[in-house]
Amino acid sequence: MKSGFVVVLIVFFFINSLLAQQSFKGIVKYKMTVIGASDGRTDSMKVVFGNNKIKTVFYLPSTKENNKVITKSYIDNFTDNTTTDIDDEGRTYSITALNRDQLYKFTNTNKFDAVDNKLCFTFIADKADFDNNKYQKIECLASVDFLYRGVLNYFFYGIQPIVIDNRIVFDFTTTEKDGRKSKLFLYEITAVEDVENEFSLKGMNVK
């Protein structure tokens, strides 16, 4: 009887510690690459977590035709269910309905892994959701400690997982049959109390 009470007490304190964790506000930076590809290209992405909205910024490296880094930005607002598509170079934007699709259904394996020494849960995609003739496995690592409350699951444009089970995704890997891996992974995370300036459209015009 006593041991049962202790177990209940431990569970109670564990649940309360989870509830006490605050929703993350700040900036997460990722690198994107294809392991096994011949060109060795690496792109990068920044994700800003604000109050019920997320901004995603892609940085595309210069090419032979264009000798400068190109940025492309999007703001997904979960309050009014809109996406703001921003043309950073032209200083214009357009607004469309938020895509709430989820390409994959991920299941928490309750196995631990780490990204940049930050503890994560391993989530595996249901094989019924992808082409088994092309892919061996699709998985992501979602943070144990960095949560984004209010949004259970969020896939950028319905495709790329950013939040799984209220947890910020630190690694997203698709492994193809030939062994190549498309990989997005965290390399820097910074908590910022006030990120509202990151979402400002001041000086921009509607397309």
> How far is C-alpha 65 from the chain's CA centre?
30
CATH number of the domain enclosing 75: 2.50.20
Q: What is the pLDDT of residue 28?
A: 98
Residue with tokens 């492309």: 72
- For 29-62, b/e burial (b = at least 16 CB within 10 A) is ebebbbeeeeeeeeebbbbbbbeebbbbbbeeee
Q: What is the pLDDT of residue 19?
A: 42
Residue 186 tokens, joined = 């965290």
Q: What is the pLDDT of residue 187?
A: 96
5 within some domain: no
Q: How many domains does the chain have?
A: 1
183 within some domain: yes
Q: What is the pLDDT of residue 203?
A: 94
Residues in the chain with pLDDT values less than 70:
1-20, 38, 40, 62-67
15 within some domain: no
Residue 146 neighbours by CB distance under 10 Å: 22
16 within some domain: no
C-alpha distances (whole Å) from 145 to each of 20, 57, 101, 149 are: 11, 23, 25, 12
Cβ-Cβ contacts under 8 Å for 79 (sequence gap 6 or more): 52, 53
Could you tell me which residues are beta bridge partners of residue 173? 139, 183
21 within some domain: no
Q: What is the pLDDT of residue 64?
A: 60
85 within some domain: yes
- Condensed to tens digits (0 to 9), the pLDDT of residues 1-52 reads 545 544 444 444 444 444 447 899 999 999 999 987 767 678 899 999 999 9
C-alpha distances (whole Å) from 159 to each of 16, 194, 206 are: 32, 28, 26
Cα R_g (the chain), whole angstroms: 19
What amino acid is encoded at 134 in this protein? K
188 within some domain: yes
Domain that holds residue 149: 26-206
